[in-house]
Amino acid sequence: MTSPAFTASSPTASSAKKEGLRRFPALRRSLMVLGVLLLPTACGDPAPARAEPPPHSFAPLVEKMLPAVVNISTTQTMKNKKQGQLPMPEFPPGSPFGDFFRDYQQRQKENDQGGGDDKGGATSLGSGFIIDASGYVVTNNHVIEGADEITVRLQDDTQMKATLVGTDKATDIALLKVEPSTKLPAMVWGNSDALKVGDWVVAIGNPFGLGGTVTAGIISARGRDIGAGKYDDFLQTDASINLGNSGGPLINLNGEVIGMNTAIFSPGSNEGEAGSVGIGFAIPAVVIKNVVQQLRETGKVRRGWLGVQIQDVTPDIADTLNLKQQRGALVAVVSPGGPGEQAGLKQGDVIISIDGKDVTNGRMLPRIVAEEPVGHKAALVVLRKGGKTNVTVSLGELKEDTEGGAATAATGNGPAEAEGTIDSVGLTLDALSPKVRQKFSVRDDAQGVAVVRVAPNSPAAKREIKAGDLIVEVGQEEVSTPNDVATRVAKAKDNGQKAVLLLVERAGDLLFVALPLE
């Protein structure tokens, strides 16, 4: 039995292994019947909400949009390497599509074998859409990644070489530029934030240069995290997204772009088994617009940086912090000298709001911050030791070397003290003597108490505390000896707490762990 997989909807393979997204979904067709069933209501019962019926025809909308949807193909220099071929779909006997795909694969094979310049033929086929009449085209990064040449084909079969303005791998967005002789038809942006689950949408693509393909459906969900990246915020739709549709627009009934088709969910784990099953994903327009504007202006994307590392607030952690609700982003590390430290953020703070937007979980905060411009003054609402605190942070710029940035403690080896065991939670601890530091490869400036053994099936083991971990705080108070830990654990039990909050350092990273006391 194969496991489900997320599949990008354009046939490229270069970056699939890195991202865990396969690029060769098989082309499958399905018939979608759209309709509304109206049920009578019993006398006296409140009338049910009436669903908006589908339009009589999508044709007028599609006719206006298709000229702005393009096919994108790429060529890539291949050295001593054969290009992978697209899987051959099955078609009914006599179908013209069968001849088309056989001819296409034959040309691809001839390109692989012929010529002495080691340049392959079309290795990627996807879609894109024009967002400016002067020739700016948006598509997915995975459609053009690694390309030496990029060709854009319009609806009327006009072909133009495109230059790459810039890409953003973090959101899988790329911006291209062509030089047309006349103004091109262009799409307009819609407000993806205004979308509601159940709204009608139309997905358009231009795979293989066949011309536009159109499917219709509804918004099935919002804010989906499919594990493609740390800024995942996908729209989910049941409008079929198939082979070659990556980079095409998802539009509303007003003819506005509200997303870009990017990936599908498929139950097949093999490339040949992949296909649309009515679960497709699109990048929201609000994300695309921000990235595209920056790529157009500077060729790169600058993101806001708060200067903290955060984790989710679990039910146990919420209980130990006496939070009424399980919400917010728990600050595990405040980067020294970063914007957060300068603004007064502290380890153990729970950020529940930024610029008036509720932070319901840890995943939301990095995405919201990253979309803000560098220098923006973000207004945070923070829970700290039972009370609310307002903190204003002037955001810095996120760089590769600032994505982590664990805080370092003061230098010192700490006092040496005999090993101690807390049987009730299954921990055996030792002070950070030179011998212990050497045994567990603890850096010289680390502070806390070393975990030397964890009893099997104990509360500590169930929370995945490991030998070699350092307990830095217990109940948000620093500890330096096994006795400190034992005293604070005992105090928490005496106070009737079900768990005690530990701050644990592991391999240089800090994380909070709610250790059960029962």
> What pLDDT, in 10s, does the model give residues 430-443?
988 888 888 888 88
What average pLDDT score do residues 377-395 get? 92
pLDDT band at 1 (very low <50, low <70, confident <90, very high): very low
123 near 76, Cβ under 8 Å? Answer: yes
What average pLDDT score do residues 62-67 get? 91
Residue with structure tokens 């146990």? 316
Who has greater pLDDT, 17 or 145?
Answer: 145
pLDDT at 413 over 50: no
What average pLDDT score do residues 400-408 get? 37
- 244 is an annotated ligand-binding site residue: yes
pLDDT at 24 over 50: no
Whether 238 is catalytic is: no
pLDDT at 26 over 60: no
Please choose, from the candidates 116, 125, 149, 337, the residue with its C-alpha nearest in 3D space to the C-alpha of residue 248. Answer: 125
**In whole angstroms, what is the distance from residue 20 CA to residue 102 CA?**
29
Region of poorest pLDDT, from 83-97, 153-167, 342-356, 379-393: 83-97
The overall pTM is greater than 0.75: no
pLDDT at 194 over 50: yes
Token pair of 467 as six digits = 């030998």
Region of poorest pLDDT, from 230-234, 253-257, 263-267, 435-439: 263-267
What average pLDDT score do residues 177-183 get? 95
Whether 142 is catalytic is: yes
| Whole-number average pLDDT of the chain | 78
pLDDT of the residue at 21: 39
Instruction: Kindly name the residue from 9, 124, 127, 172 that is annotated as catalytic.
Output: 172
- 142 is an annotated ligand-binding site residue: yes
- 206 is an annotated ligand-binding site residue: no
pLDDT of the residue at 244: 79
**In whole angstroms, what is the distance from residue 158 CA to residue 211 CA?**
12
Which H or E element spans position 125?
A: strand 119-132
Token pair of 152 as six digits = 């854009």
Whether 376 is catalytic is: no
Token pair of 122 as six digits = 């079309």
All structural domains of the chain, each given as residue ranges with its CATH number in brackets, are 188-265+276-298 (2.40.10.10), 303-398 (2.30.42.10), 420-516 (2.30.42.10)
pLDDT of the residue at 185: 95
48 near 181, Cβ under 8 Å? Answer: no
Token pair of 176 as six digits = 């291209």
pLDDT at 82 over 50: no
Instruction: Kindly name the residue from 9, 10, 127, 142 that is annotated as catalytic.
Output: 142
pLDDT at 407 over 70: no
pLDDT band at 406 (very low <50, low <70, confident <90, very high): very low
Token pair of 325 as six digits = 């609700």
Instruction: Kindly name the residue from 9, 124, 192, 246 that is annotated as catalytic.
Output: 246
What average pLDDT score do residues 228-239 get? 82
pLDDT band at 199 (very low <50, low <70, confident <90, very high): very high
pLDDT of the residue at 123: 60
pLDDT at 409 over 70: no
